[in-house]
Amino acid sequence: MPLIQLENISLTFGEFPLLDKINLQIEPKERIFLIGRNGAGKSCLFKIIRGALDADSGKIHRESGLKIAELTQTVPACDSASVYDVVADGIQEVGLLLKEYHKLTQSPDADFSDEKWLKKLETVQRELEAKHGWRYHQLIETMLTRLELPGDKNFENLSGGWQRRVLLAQALVSEPDILLLDEPTNHLDLEAIEWLEDYFDQFSGAVLCITHDRTFLRKCSKRIIELDRGNLSSWPGNYDKYLSDKEHRLEVEAEHAKLFDVKLAKEEVWIRQGIKARRTRNEGRVRALIKLREERKQRRELEDKPKFTIKDTPVSGALVVDAENIAYSINHHRLIDDFSIKILRGDKIALVGPNGVGKSTLLKVLLGELPPQKGTVKLGTNLQIGYFDQLRTGINPELSAIENVAGGRETITLNGVEKHIISYLSDFLFTPERIKRPVKFLSGGEANRLLLAKLFSFPTNLLVLDEPTNDLDIESLELLEDILVEYRGTLLLVSHDRTFVDNVATSTLYFRGEGKITEYVGGYSAIPKAVLLNTKKVDESAKKNESTQKIESGSKDQAIDPQQNQKSSPAPTTSSSSATTFTSKMKRELEEIPGKIASLEIELHKLQNEMAEGSFYSKDPSYIKTTQENFQKIEKTLRELYSRWEELEQLKN
């Protein structure tokens, strides 16, 4: 028997219905994942299931005594409650007792010699034992530990992301029949996401989850439901099966639409044949044509896909960052320990590891915002930096979308093509109405797309992206991946989206804790399983030191606004050879180097593809040897050209 059943549910806001006579039933212990575009109506469907929103029409059947818990995108006001209290609110009556017990035992005024205080504590303990409350106490403590939550901090003093972590813990401890989760992996690190994946295995209730995390989808989904143009479709199986079946269904839908349009066009020609046709026409055929017209009017086409792009990339020096034996500690806790790296133009490097392990600190050291306590950091020439900040400090919530991005501009030139600001924002799926709305009224996905729109409207050659995937739908994620793969500049990426990292990164810096950082060629999948299993859990004192800035709402982290970084970064100290005169011959040589590098990189890419083919090593041994030698020669030539480029750039400046 289903826990809940929706029959012909409809809900309309604006011209088209968000929900158009949809049907859904949820069985006990199901693992259902709801996908769809930002704004498709997924959150509204959650509200209807929970009873917080009435549908325009249709019926809902709920099992008697059904208990539903939800993690929403909206954070409710919780006055001056502590994190522990907010989590305990998920357990109703027992939660009140646990809050009282926590207050009594954790209060700085606790006095074990006070008879009145002891009597009150004994009363609470007795009631907790009678209602089996200690099990829930342990459950709350486990949630606080697993999600790295500061139990005694004031909930209202946390940032929005950390508040959602608290609300996730509140939903999980309630042990409901149906658990509704709206983007639960946002603001979680990989360790917490993988813990949540394991938690689903033992959870006894049903789960209905909205997510755009494709790895999370693949691991946890047993059935996928998709909300598309008002219709809800069900796809049994995992995400990969859904992709295959959906592609086939879209092909069939397109063919049906094509046949329908041909038939309609034929009937329109017939009705316009004039007096002769009107004398002989069949009134039934006329009525059928009217019905066809109405059906065509009601048909909802596939919505526009996002089609944003990135501004022309100015060429930086070949060497972007050269860090040697750097170290950094906070309160005697080592976050970076004797780490060296050379970042070259075009590298796309992901930083992966638990929250508080030192990723943000390393970024600041590499970008010159923090001087290393040991070692040296040398920045390359002509750097123009763009920064995507997960706290969205780069946009003003009181201003409209167009005011945030335009900055007084009416047009933006992208790759030689001039675009009006309204047209530019439409590529990021902003309608003329939405671009005039204050940012504080936009959804999380819209706010992220807006920050990308602002970032991509300025030329950069070093992008620093801190959790850019939160709240983006799958289509936007895939487009962003394509853009970053083709991006000709350098990328530093902090992300817990494993699929995104796999698809974009050329190498991954994995933070193992205690300042140890290891580089692996490739994305998240390149990190050996044994390394992931044996990584030591980050010390709690380190999390306090680095995570406090992220947790507290008044974070002092300042995003680097592309508008404020149009001038080049200061050039590194030049060698003694910099005294040499920069001649006209050197100028011509410098101008020719980028073209030579581009040609060699194309040739190198072709050889890489050939050598990656499974049949390559079955060819003639002499051919294999020659190909490998050519590959090594091109690599060597490229290194020499990059070095010469850097040398000439320094002489020029």
Relative orientation angle of helices 283-298 and 239-271, to the nearest 10 degrees:
140
pLDDT tens string 79-130: 678 999 999 999 877 888 888 888 887 776 666 667 787 888 888 888 888 8
Q: Which residue has the higher pLDDT, 205 or 605?
A: 205
* Among 316, 336, 332, 331, CA closest to 377: 336
| Residue 627 phi, psi (nearest 5) | -65, -45
Question: CA 445, CA 429: separation in Å to the nearest integer?
Answer: 11
CA atoms within 13 A on the CB side of 370: 20
Question: CA 160, CA 73: separation in Å to the nearest integer?
Answer: 10
Host H or E run for residue 4 = strand 4-12
Question: CA 510, CA 305: separation in Å to the nearest integer?
Answer: 34
Beta strand 348-352 with 490-494 is parallel
Torsion of Cα atoms, 437 then 439 then 442 then 446, to 10°: 110
User: Contact 200/207 with Cβ under 8 angstroms?
Assistant: yes
**What is the predicted pLDDT for the residue at 268?**
65
Indicate whether this model's pTM tops 0.85: no
* Among 172, 110, 188, 108, CA closest to 140: 172
Within the chain, all domains assigned CATH 3.40.50.300 are found at: 319-564
Q: In what order do the strands lie in the sheet with 4-12?
A: 17-26, 4-12, 57-62
Other beta carbons within 10 Å of 330: 15
User: Contact 342/321 with Cβ under 8 angstroms?
Assistant: yes
Within the chain, all domains assigned CATH 1.10.287.380 are found at: 576-652
pLDDT tens string 334-350: 999 999 999 999 999 99
Q: How far, in whole angstroms, is CA 370 from its chain's centroid?
A: 26
Q: Please determine, for residue 519, whether its predicted confidence score (pLDDT) is greater than 90.
A: yes
Question: CA 87, CA 99: separation in Å to the nearest integer?
Answer: 9
pLDDT tens string 210-264: 998 999 999 999 899 999 888 899 988 888 888 888 777 767 777 777 776 777 6
**What is the predicted pLDDT for the residue at 458?**
85
pLDDT tens string 586-607: 887 887 887 787 678 677 767 7
Helix residue spans in 272-358 (DSSP H): 275-280, 283-298
Question: CA 25, CA 3: separation in Å to the nearest integer?
Answer: 7
User: With respect to CATH, is domain 576-652 assigned 1.10.645.10?
Assistant: no
pLDDT tens string 547-573: 444 444 333 333 334 334 333 333 333
Question: CA 458, CA 386: separation in Å to the nearest integer?
Answer: 8
pLDDT band at 647 (very low <50, low <70, confident <90, very high): confident
Question: Which of 309-318, 526-535, 614-623, 635-644 is predicted with the least confidence, judged by mean pLDDT?
Answer: 614-623
Task: Map residue 101 onto helix, strand or coil.
Answer: helix
The residues, any chain, with a CB within 8 Å of residue 5's CB and separated by 6 or more, are 24, 25, 26, 60, 61
**Residue that has been written with the tokens 């972590």 in this structure:** 165
Which amino acid, 201?
D
**What is the predicted pLDDT for the residue at 579?**
46
CA separation, residue 505 to residues 163, 498, 501, 521 (Å): 30, 10, 5, 9
Task: Map residue 476 onto helix, strand or coil.
Answer: helix
The beta strands (E) that lie in 331-475 are given as: 333-344, 348-352, 374-379, 385-388, 411-414, 417-420, 462-466
Q: Which residue has the higher pLDDT, 636 or 261?
A: 636
Q: Please determine, for residue 574, whether its predicted confidence score (pLDDT) is greater than 60.
A: no
* Among 469, 236, 466, CA closest to 350: 466
**What is the predicted pLDDT for the residue at 379?**
94
Question: CA 435, CA 428: separation in Å to the nearest integer?
Answer: 10
User: With respect to CATH, is domain 319-564 assigned 3.40.50.300?
Assistant: yes
DSSP state of 60: E
Question: Angle at the Cα of 111 (from 105 to 116), degrees rounded to 5?
Answer: 95
